[in-house]
Chains A and B, each alone.
Chain A
Amino acid sequence: MSESAELERAYRRLVAFYPRSFRRENEEEIVTVLLATAPDGQRRPGIAESIDLIRGAARMRMSLSRTPHTVHNAVRLMYLGAVAELGVLIVLWLTEGSIRAAVAHQYPMLTAAQMGQLNTVFTVDLAVGAAVVPLWLLMAWWNSRGSQVARLAAIVCFAFCTTGMITDAVTGSPQFAPAAFTAAGVVWLIGLAAIVNLLRKQSVAYYQRQAAL
């Protein structure tokens, strides 16, 4: 093996410490520069340049794994969303009587059986709300780990939340359950803020880097 080929192989072994995403784009160029700056007849990398490359790789790995503030914000908002969702459940439970009264007042012709169906609606609402609280917590934990799938899952969950809000709005929730609808609106706004943070440039770059590490 020629001296330069031996040196090049040694440089490539050092460059291998860098993250894969960086090597994919820069390995050929960095090896070119290393070879260009090497004195004639050099067979293996010097100690100082080996340390420099390993230090550079360590720094890059550390900076790549550093979570940007936009992702921190999104995760905090998701924890807040879990608390707010719990608030919606409490409001719904506390205002159940006034919601029934509002429905009865609006539709005086409803039979007892039809009014009884409201129980099913309340049960479903409370069950869905109770399931959404741990979902918020799961999304916060999962996204804090930098998972691309978690980010997509959060976006899908927010789409469902938005659909739910629109459905509630057109089926009379603002009229019969203004307090619960307002509380749900607060939850939706928290979700929107979390998603906006997840879609910020720094967040997108972070999730891409994490996937490439």
Chain B
Amino acid sequence: MQEATFLILTALADGTQHGYGIISEVAKISGNRVRLRAGTLYTALDRLRSDGLIDVDREEVVDNRLRRYYRLTPTGTTRLAAEAERLQANATAALTRLNPSLGMI
């Protein structure tokens, strides 16, 4: 799973978000390291929708502008959890191996 995909799914993990909200959340989660552009975001959202990982929750019109809210599907939740566990296991393995050498410095 690409980092942008992982971050988008993470942005939706605790509730629905609209497009601009996802961009803000992803920036927040990544400590402003990842700033999604609209083209990247909507290409990813379209793919995630066709893969069944996210779905449209509702639509609102605010100041004559459309806001579409997205949510994680149960499949998306499962995939995100599996990916988070995989990343955590990798990170733990890396830190475990690094610790002895770090201790020698």
A binds B: yes
Distance of A49 Cα from B40 Cα, bound (Å): 9
With contacts A32-B67, A63-B47 taken as known, whether A26 is within 8 angstroms of B39 at the C-beta atoms is: no
User: Which residues of A sit under 8 angstroms from B47, Cβ to Cβ?
Assistant: 63
Distance of A28 Cα from B50 Cα, bound (Å): 20
Size of the B side of the interface (Cβ < 8 Å), in residues, is: 17
Binary interface encoding of chain B residues 38-53 relative to chain A, with 1 for a CB under 8 A from any of its CBs, else 0? 1111110011001000
User: Which residues of B sit under 8 angstroms from A32, Cβ to Cβ?
Assistant: 19-20, 65-67
User: Which residues of A sit under 8 angstroms from B38, Cβ to Cβ?
Assistant: 30, 33-34, 37, 49, 52-53
The yes or no answer to B37 lying at the interface (CB within 8 A) is: yes
User: Which residues of B sit under 8 angstroms from A105, Cβ to Cβ?
Assistant: none
Size of the A side of the interface (Cβ < 8 Å), in residues, is: 23
Q: How far is the CB of A9 from chain B (nearest CB, A)?
A: 16
- Interface locus among A54-62, A86-94, A114-122, A179-187: A54-62
Q: Is B37 touching A52 in the complex (CB atoms < 8 A)? A: yes
Q: Is B39 touching A33 in the complex (CB atoms < 8 A)? A: no
The yes or no answer to A166 lying at the interface (CB within 8 A) is: no
The yes or no answer to A22 lying at the interface (CB within 8 A) is: yes
User: Which residues of A sit under 8 angstroms from B79, Cβ to Cβ?
Assistant: none
User: Which residues of B sit under 8 angstroms from A53, Cβ to Cβ?
Assistant: 37-39
Q: Is A60 touching B43 in the complex (CB atoms < 8 A)? A: yes
Q: How far is the CB of A202 from chain B (nearest CB, A)?
A: 9
Q: How far is the CB of B35 from chain A (nearest CB, A)?
A: 9
Q: Is B23 touching A37 in the complex (CB atoms < 8 A)? A: yes
Tell me what chain A mostly uses at the interface: helix, strand, loop, or mixed: helix
Q: Is B68 touching A48 in the complex (CB atoms < 8 A)? A: no
Q: Is B43 touching A56 in the complex (CB atoms < 8 A)? A: yes
The yes or no answer to A36 lying at the interface (CB within 8 A) is: yes
Quick one: which of A140-174 are within 8 Å of B by CB? none
Q: How far is the CB of A30 from chain B (nearest CB, A)?
A: 5
Of the candidates B19, B40, B68, the one whose C-beta lies within 8 Å of that of A56 is B40
Distance of A28 Cα from B19 Cα, bound (Å): 12
Distance of A54 Cα from B38 Cα, bound (Å): 11
The yes or no answer to A40 lying at the interface (CB within 8 A) is: no
The yes or no answer to A104 lying at the interface (CB within 8 A) is: no
User: Which residues of B sit under 8 angstroms from A57, Cβ to Cβ?
Assistant: 39
Distance of A54 Cα from B20 Cα, bound (Å): 19
Q: Which chain B residue has the least Cβ–Cβ distance from A54? A: B39
Q: Is B43 touching A33 in the complex (CB atoms < 8 A)? A: no
User: Which residues of A sit under 8 angstroms from B40, Cβ to Cβ?
Assistant: 52, 56
Q: Is A26 touching B46 in the complex (CB atoms < 8 A)? A: yes
Q: Which chain B residue has the least Cβ–Cβ distance from A63? A: B47
Q: Return 30 A-B CB contacts under 8 Å, by A number.
A: A26-B42, A28-B66, A29-B19, A30-B38, A30-B42, A32-B19, A32-B20, A32-B65, A32-B67, A33-B19, A33-B20, A33-B23, A33-B38, A33-B42, A34-B38, A35-B65, A36-B20, A37-B20, A37-B23, A37-B37, A49-B37, A52-B39, A52-B40, A54-B39, A56-B42, A56-B43, A59-B43, A60-B43, A60-B46, A63-B47
